[in-house]
Amino acid sequence: MSAIILIGFMGAGKTTISKELGKTTNAQVVDMDDVLVERIGQPIADFFEEHGEPAFRNHETDLLKEAITKNSIIATGGGVILQKENQKVLVDKKVIYLKANADVLVERIRNDKTNIRPNAMNKNDGEIKKLYFSREKLYEKLAKFTIDTSEKTPQEIVAEILNQVTV
Ligand code: S3P
């Protein structure tokens, strides 16, 4: 097996699906945001405030390059597709885009009280959607295939993934 990388906007279900996929296949799961929080030693929102987004993106790129060498399922953060360096890393990999419609994404982000997202917390719904639309093409371009998660259960999504890729 080679790494399977889940990309998509905040609230697309990358963490949930990576865990479910890990359970079903017994493959190792790397949740990039969790590893980054450990590495930077503080919540992502605090790190953004103290050190800025570019510093976070550097850590993210280092971790992506490391994680991709292992045969794992990787749940990325929503902004991983922004860096040119990351795009080069992802271009020939098993990249799956978890897509959802903009209203569903906003609702999931708003309902998630445990995950404070710096790129959403001070934005209104329209601004969050604008950010999503600004990234949409990049997710699509980098994906080997796309699954719309808006109205599917995690089990259905995992079944679709396993139909498409060998884990
Ligand atoms: C970000 C998404 C977050 C996290 C960071 C930045 C973004 O991950 O990496 O807050 O810019 O979209 P999730 O997509 O898991 O929320």
pTM recorded for the entire structure = 0.97
Å from CA of 107 to ligand 1 middle: 15
Q: Are 120 and 78 in contact (CB under 8 A)?
A: no
CATH number at residue 41: 3.40.50.300
Provide the total of helices (H) and of strands (E) in the chain, helices listed first.
9, 5
Q: Which atom of ligand 1 is nearest to the CA of 32?
A: 9
pLDDT by residue for the chain (167 residues), tens digit each? 689 999 999 999 999 999 999 999 999 999 999 999 999 999 999 999 999 999 999 999 999 999 999 989 999 999 999 999 999 999 999 999 999 999 999 999 999 988 999 999 999 999 999 999 999 999 999 999 999 999 999 999 999 999 998 76
Give the total number of structural domains in the chain: 1
Hey, which bits of the chain come out as E strands? 4-7, 28-31, 72-75, 94-99, 145-148
**Cα–Cα dist 48/33, whole Å:** 13
Structural domain harbouring 98:
4-164
Distance 78 CA to ligand 1 centre (A): 4
To the nearest 5 percent, what fractions of the chain are helix, strand and coil? Answer: 60, 15, 30
